[in-house]
A and B are shown apart, each in its own frame.
Chain A
Amino acid sequence: NAGVTQTPKFRILKIGQSMTLQCTQDMNHNYMYWYRQDPGMGLKLIYYSVGAGITDKGEVPNGYNVSRSTTEDFPLRLELAAPSQTSVYFCASSYGGDRRTRYGYTFGSGTRLTVV
């Protein structure tokens, strides 16, 4: 199993540009998440999904959009990039329901995004 795979690993965007961060998992996890981590700070939840076709906002959703058309994929879309979106983005997945408590979250290796 590859676990959670994120692409790209690094990206530089100009202000106002758009891009999609890709995330895919091969563990058949129901739940998927997008976090951002600013330097020296903890992780903040952007969006999450409890299954295909279902998404919901986390703590810091403004400026982002997501979709979940399949169990495996959970792309994060940035529209009109701003310097405040410079961060490291982590995708994660987990089992759903009661199994979410009994098992941990699996994280991808992250996408380092710089907006200039």
Chain B
Amino acid sequence: DAKTTQPPSMDCAEGRAANLPCNHSTISGNEYVYWYRQIHSQGPQYIIHGLKNNETNEMASLIITEDRKSSTLILPHATLRDTAVYYCIVRDSNSGYALNFGKGTSLLVTP
């Protein structure tokens, strides 16, 4: 799986957009970008994933650069309940069965 780099921590004011970056400069053509989050003491939660095009669902938007070497997860109106560790993972259909979460970005949403 391609290696990913995320900032260790970020802050965001409640109601504002949270933009979480991820670098994956060694990504290959068949690898998808996935985002998960883990709220304290809970199991990881799948958020969104994409291959080349930008994606949006009820939770977030995923913006992938044209060269696919980086991406940004956008939470459009962050709430206190979005405080969590966010993980960016790159993998394809040949990836092993373990999800390698790395250290992620700890997002703190403040009132």
For A112, the chain B residues whose CB sits under 8 A away are 41
For A90, the chain B residues whose CB sits under 8 A away are 43-44
Interface size on B, residues (CB 8 A): 20
Q: How large is the interface on A (under 10, 10 to 19, 20 to 34, 35 or more residues)?
A: 20 to 34
Is A42 an interface position by the 8 A CB rule?
yes
Most B CB atoms within 10 A — which of A33, A45, A107, A112? Answer: A107
Is B100 an interface position by the 8 A CB rule?
yes
For A43, the chain B residues whose CB sits under 8 A away are 44, 98-99, 101
Is A7 an interface position by the 8 A CB rule?
no
CB distance from B9 to the nearest CB of A (A): 14
State the CA gap A3–B61 with chains docked (Å): 24
Question: Which listed segment binds A: B16-24, B72-80, B89-97?
Answer: B89-97
For B69, the chain A residues whose CB sits under 8 A away are none
